[in-house]
Structure 1
Amino acid sequence: MITQHILVSGQVQGVGFRWSASKLAKQLGVTGTVQNLETGQVAIVASGEDAVLKDFVDQLRNGLSPWIQVTDITIKNLPGQEFQEFRIII
């Protein structure tokens, strides 16, 4: 189990990105959080198996809907954390 901080840039606020990321995370068994930042980016802290997190990021990158336009994703490894679920921080 690994934990990553995933910073997503692009047209990712006001287009259902957090909801879509949460739905995808739950489908894949990823736990953690997602929240909008004042910079217009979205921050995700995600925990899961390495291959599952790679799949999660690939699907985020490829766009979860026609309204979402991801231009950049930055990933940093964090010390392992355990979350009970994946939740949206408002």
Structure 2
Amino acid sequence: MSKIGVHVVVSGTVQEVGFRFFTVREAERLGIVGHVRNLESGEVDIEAFGEPEAIKNFLAFLEHGPKTAMVEHLVAKEIPVKHLISFTSS
């Protein structure tokens, strides 16, 4: 099966609550590569690449985030696949 890519912006209480840490952990569990970073706006920016079912499960995780976060809004759009080797946080 071919991989897909998504760009996701998550808003709410998503900084300084472990959101990036849990995002990396979930991506690694699902075999997803990409990156996550905080934006100056208070949002979290994510690019993720993987099998369609894994991306679907990853987006479901992001809709709720870890228990310490409060996701208010999530915008996801499909993007071209980048061939990366891991999932990183910056």
TM-score range, shorter chain: over 0.9
The sequence identity of aligned pairs, in percent, is: 38
1:24-39 correspondence to structure 2 within 5 Å: 24-39=26-41
Aligned to 1:78: 79
Aligned to 1:68: 69
Output the TM-score relative to the length of structure 2: 0.93
Amino acid at match of 2:8: I
SS of 2:24's equivalent?
A: helix
5+ residue gaps, structure 2, are none
1:88 is the counterpart of 2:89? yes
Aligned to 1:16: 18
5+ residue gaps, structure 1, are none
Alignment match of 2:49 (pick from 47, 50, 64)? 47
| CA distance, structure 1, for counterparts of residue 57 and residue 7 of structure 2 | 15
Amino acid at match of 2:74: I
Output the TM-score relative to the length of structure 1: 0.93
